[in-house]
Amino acid sequence: MAREMLTRQKGNWGLGVQLRGEGAAFNFGHGGSNAGFKCALVMLLESGNGAVVMTNGDQGGKLATELIREIANEHHWAAGWDADGR
């Protein structure tokens, strides 16, 4: 089931997660929100590196993206990886 989850099903989506990158930079993630709350999950499959950020603000998605980018830089995640999925 995990393999199916990380197999492109439609566009850049697996089963419930967005799939981005190639090779060592291949990652999957998902965001979520309710009024007043935003969160983001990113995981790099090959290295096992990942992060989850949960915020309590309507603009928290921007903060989560920046925090994940800084975590990736600090911990030297795979070259070519970008928090925005580019």
- Taking only the tens place, the pLDDT of each residue in 29-76 is 999 999 999 999 999 999 999 999 999 999 999 999 999 999 999 998
- State pTM to two decimals: 0.82
- Residue 78's pLDDT band (boundaries 50, 70, 90)? confident
- Residue 18's pLDDT band (boundaries 50, 70, 90)? very high
Buried b (16+ CB within 10 A) or exposed e, 13-49: ebeebbbbbeeebbbbbeeeeeeeebbbbbbbbebeb
- Residue 83's pLDDT band (boundaries 50, 70, 90)? low
Q: CA triplet 27, 30, 58: central angle to 5 degrees?
A: 135
Q: Is a pLDDT exceeding 90 seen at residue 84? A: no
* pLDDT for position 86: 44
